[in-house]
């Protein structure tokens, strides 16, 4: 397997998907969106070096 190089020190994936279907709720309804917002605030407050984080 070929390794790829990225400019990031680490990757953190948080599901924040919100769905309209009550039978298949997304992660956002279970706190994913709130967790993503908390992580963004924590990273920005610490002014971590190594480049600006990219949020999706």
Per-block mean pLDDT, blocks of 10 residues, the chain (56 long): 75 84 80 86 76 63
pLDDT at 54: 65
pLDDT at 4: 77
CB neighbours of 3 closer than 8 A, spacing ≥ 6? none
pLDDT at 7: 73
Query: For 17, how many CA atoms within 13 A lie in the half-sphere containing its CB?
Result: 8
pLDDT at 27: 79
> Taking the model in full, what pTM does it have?
0.60
């Amino acid at each position: 397997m070929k390794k790829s190089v990225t400019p990031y020190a680490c990757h953190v994936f948080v599901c924040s998907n919100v769905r309209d279907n009550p039978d298949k709720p997304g992660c956002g309804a279970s706190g994913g969106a709130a967790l993503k917002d908390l992580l963004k605030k924590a990273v920005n407050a610490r002014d971590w070096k190594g480049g600006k984080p990219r949020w999706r």
